[in-house]
């Protein structure tokens, strides 16, 4: 993103709309306001189908300088696990989500875990604070672990609330 002397966007995706003073990174946040919200296309890309046409028509798009770090839930392994656990809490489930077609062997306790569609959990004991991806196979016991479709088990250092 190219930024002009007055803080507005002057370069976007290789197209130029004024003299560039400095460059910046788009961090995935924007404030559209009511007019911008209603002007969004039904579907498409925020940059390609909304911002670029505005810039081509001479509409000013302002920027806000930010020198800090931007991190969203799920940007780290611990954040990904925490966001899944938070999702369980917001849903008001009793500690687990089993996706469609998920299979859990008898005698396994699933606690505060998300089991994806078509996943299998075998072994004995419990899964505690785990995310098992759709179609993956996990073997209990597991704790604070993400199990990928390829079978990789990623242990996450997470605090237990």
pLDDT digits (tens, 9 = 90+) for 84-119: 998 898 888 768 999 999 999 999 999 999 999 999
Distance CA 71, CA 66 (A): 13
Phi/psi at 53 (nearest 5 deg)? -60, -35
pLDDT tens-place string over residues 114-129: 999 999 999 999 999 9
pLDDT grade for 161, boundaries at 50, 70 and 90: very low
> Structure tokens of 4?
């002009």
160: confidence class by pLDDT, cuts 50, 70, 90 = very low
Q: Is the pTM of this model over 0.95?
A: no
The 10s digit of each residue's pLDDT in 38-77 is 989 989 999 999 999 999 999 999 998 877 766 666 678 9
């Amino acid at each position: 993103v190219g930024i002009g002397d007055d803080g507005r966007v002057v370069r976007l995706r290789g197209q130029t709309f004024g003299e560039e003073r400095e460059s910046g990174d788009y961090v995935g946040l924007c404030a559209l306001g009511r007019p911008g919200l209603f002007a969004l296309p039904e579907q498409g890309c925020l940059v390609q189908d909304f911002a670029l046409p505005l810039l081509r028509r001479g509409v000013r798009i302002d920027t806000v300088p930010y020198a800090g770090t931007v991190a969203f839930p799920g940007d780290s392994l611990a954040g990904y696990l925490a966001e899944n656990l938070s999702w369980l809490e917001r849903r008001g489930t009793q500690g687990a989500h089993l996706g469609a077609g998920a299979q859990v062997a008898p005698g396994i306790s699933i606690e505060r875990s998300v089991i994806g569609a078509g996943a299998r959990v075998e072994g004995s004991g419990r899964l505690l604070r785990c995310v098992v991806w759709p179609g993956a196979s996990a073997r209990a016991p597991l704790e604070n672990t993400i199990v990928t479709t390829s079978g990789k088990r990623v242990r996450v250092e997470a605090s237990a609330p």
